[in-house]
């Protein structure tokens, strides 16, 4: 993390802000208040969860090309669906041989779970039954399971990957506190968690879900506790990524709770959709008073390497 000065993130909507918030809090706790953040939520085309691979490749190409044009040191694919389906498309766009590095969420998550699996020897029994809640696309790709099974000597557990398409629209509404949305969320979570009975380690495999982590845990440890007799812990890929970036443990990163002002000039937050709706949802998700996003139009950005890079913070019209 020492070398980072400008870091860019993208997602289909507000979900990737959970990744930005995690990295910003860790950076803040490490005394790195000098980092600039650029975020793009492609709200105009959200959700990505059931779009075709071709569409997602095209969108990711356009977005990474736009972010790349602002000379970040790192681009974080803060969207598991994009990581699972379109990493090669993103790789094609990022400038080769420069400081910039493309980061995704799947490999660090698998690395963290493999660490846990390694500890589960015959004398130190840690039971691992991995469940993944994600978009339909990510679940169909089997990306998390594939990453874990690359180490068959270490990981011998079960992986069940479940598409949960009802969740993103509820989170994007920015109205999770409203009784009708809260009850729709509760109903959807019960439906999904019932299908993941027996899970011990639940990967929040869509970056929107850390914003409903408490609701998931309340159900899994309360009303639905009988389905999770061995206990259930959530695994947030953003925590695994931050742990990998800093060399700290998952537990240490998870414990960091720094107060970050996301309306400070260090944060340039953009959306391809309606800024008012985005600001409302973003502020609720980040539990902050105000987010002031800027509108960006994509579609005319060809997915090819950008030249004449502009540094951020940026001024957009
Ligand atoms: N937040 C995204 C992910 O992590 C995508 C959600 C969606 O657009 O369906 O997969």
Q: What is the pLDDT of residue 96?
A: 60
CA distance linking residue 290 with residue 41, whole number of Å: 17
| Residue 236 beta carbon below 6 angstroms from any ligand 1 atom | no
Ligand 1 atom closest to residue 207's alpha carbon, by position in its atom list: 4
What separation in Å is there between the alpha carbon of 206 and the centre of ligand 1?
Answer: 5
**What torsion do the CA atoms of 252, 76, 283, 261 make, to the nearest 10 degrees?**
60
Report CA torsion sign: 176, 180, 186, 191.
negative
DSSP letters, 291-310, are ---EE---SSS-SS---S--
CA distance linking residue 83 with residue 89, whole number of Å: 10
Q: What is the pLDDT of residue 302?
A: 43
Domain 6-104+251-295 annotated CATH 3.40.50.300: no
What are the tens digits of pLDDT across the range 103-153? 999 999 999 999 999 887 655 556 789 999 999 999 999 999 999 999 999
Ligand 1 atom closest to residue 205's alpha carbon, by position in its atom list: 4
Query: Where do the DSSP E strands lie in the chain?
Result: 6-11, 36-41, 74-77, 101-103, 129-134, 158-163, 201-204, 233-235, 267-271, 294-295
CA distance linking residue 14 with residue 259, whole number of Å: 19
| Residue 18 beta carbon below 6 angstroms from any ligand 1 atom | no
Q: What is the pLDDT of residue 130?
A: 97
Question: Would you put residue 68 in left (φ > 0), alpha (ψ -120 to 50) or beta?
Answer: alpha
Beta bridge partners of 204: 133
Q: Which of 58, 65, 57, 115 is nearest to 83 (CA)?
A: 57
CA distance linking residue 156 with residue 113, whole number of Å: 11
Q: How far is CA 219 from CA 61, 62, 177, 197, 246, in A?
A: 38, 39, 16, 12, 32
| Residue 105 beta carbon below 6 angstroms from any ligand 1 atom | no
Q: Which of 47, 22, 87 is nearest to 237 (CA)?
A: 22
Q: Give the residue, out of 9, 10, 13, 19, with the most ligand 1 atoms within 8 A of its beta carbon, to mutate for a pocket test.
A: 13
Q: Give the residue, out of 173, 208, 238, with the most ligand 1 atoms within 8 A of its beta carbon, to mutate for a pocket test.
A: 208
Mean pLDDT of the chain: 91
| Residue 49 beta carbon below 6 angstroms from any ligand 1 atom | yes
What separation in Å is there between the alpha carbon of 45 and the centre of ligand 1?
Answer: 11
DSSP letters, 222-275, are TTTGGG-TT--EEE-HHHHHHHHHHT--HHHHHH------TTSTTEEEEESS-H
What separation in Å is there between the alpha carbon of 47 and the centre of ligand 1?
Answer: 6
What stretches in the chain show pLDDT beneath 50? 97, 99, 301-309, 315-317
Q: Which residue has the tokens 């980072």?
A: 4
**106-240 topology per CATH:** Rossmann fold (3.40.50)
Asked whether 162 and 138 are in contact (CB, 8 A), the reply is: no
**What torsion do the CA atoms of 37, 314, 11, 245 make, to the nearest 10 degrees?**
-30
CA distance linking residue 111 with residue 114, whole number of Å: 5
What separation in Å is there between the alpha carbon of 163 and the centre of ligand 1?
Answer: 11
Q: Give the residue, out of 20, 22, 49, 140, with the most ligand 1 atoms within 8 A of its beta carbon, to mutate for a pocket test.
A: 49
Asked whether 170 and 185 are in contact (CB, 8 A), the reply is: yes
Q: Which residue has the tokens 């019960």?
A: 190
Ligand 1 atom closest to residue 82's alpha carbon, by position in its atom list: 10
What separation in Å is there between the alpha carbon of 132 and the centre of ligand 1?
Answer: 13
Asked whether 11 and 135 are in contact (CB, 8 A), the reply is: no
Catalytically active residues, by annotation = 79, 206
Identical fold between 6-104+251-295 and 106-240: yes
What separation in Å is there between the alpha carbon of 67 and the centre of ligand 1?
Answer: 18
Instruction: Give Cβ neighbours of residue 292 (< 8 Å, ≥ 6 apart).
Output: 263, 269, 275, 279
Instruction: Enumerate the domain spans of the chain.
Output: 6-104+251-295, 106-240
CA distance linking residue 235 with residue 250, whole number of Å: 9
| Residue 81 beta carbon below 6 angstroms from any ligand 1 atom | yes
């Amino acid at each position: 993390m020492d070398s980072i000065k400008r870091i860019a993130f993208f997602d289909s909507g507000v979900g990737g802000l959970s990744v930005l918030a995690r990295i910003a809090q860790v950076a803040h706790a490490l005394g790195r208040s000098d980092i600039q953040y650029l975020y793009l939520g492609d709200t105009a085309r959200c959700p990505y969860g059931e779009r075709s691979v071709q569409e997602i490749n095209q969108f990711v190409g356009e977005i990474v090309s736009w972010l790349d044009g602002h000379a970040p040191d790192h681009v974080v694919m803060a969207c598991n669906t994009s990581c699972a389906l379109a990493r090669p498309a993103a790789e094609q766009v990022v400038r080769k041989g420069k400081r910039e590095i493309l980061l995704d969420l799947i490999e660090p998550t698998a690395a963290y779970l493999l660490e846990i699996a390694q500890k589960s020897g015959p004398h130190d029994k840690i039971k691992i039954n991995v469940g993944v809640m994600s978009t339909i696309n990510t679940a169909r790709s089997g990306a998390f399971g594939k990453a874990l099974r690359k180490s068959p000597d270490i990981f011998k557990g079960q992986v069940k990957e479940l598409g949960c398409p009802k969740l993103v629209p509820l989170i994007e509404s920015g109205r999770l506190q409203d009784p009708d949305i809260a009850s729709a969320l509760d109903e959807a979570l019960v439906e999904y968690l019932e299908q993941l009975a027996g899970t011990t380690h639940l990967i929040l495999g869509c970056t929107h879900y850390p914003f409903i982590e408490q609701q998931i845990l309340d159900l899994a440890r309360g009303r639905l506790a009988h389905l999770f007799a061995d206990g259930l812990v959530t695994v947030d890929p953003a925590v695994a990524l931050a742990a990998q970036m800093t060399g700290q443990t998952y537990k240490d990163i998870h414990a960091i709770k720094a107060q970050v002002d996301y309306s400070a000039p260090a944060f340039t937050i953009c959306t391809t959709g309606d800024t008012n709706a985005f600001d409302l949802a973003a502020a609720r998700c980040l539990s902050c008073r105000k987010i002031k996003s800027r509108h960006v139009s994509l579609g005319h950005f060809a997915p090819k390497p950008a030249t004449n890079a502009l540094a951020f913070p940026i001024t957009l019209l």
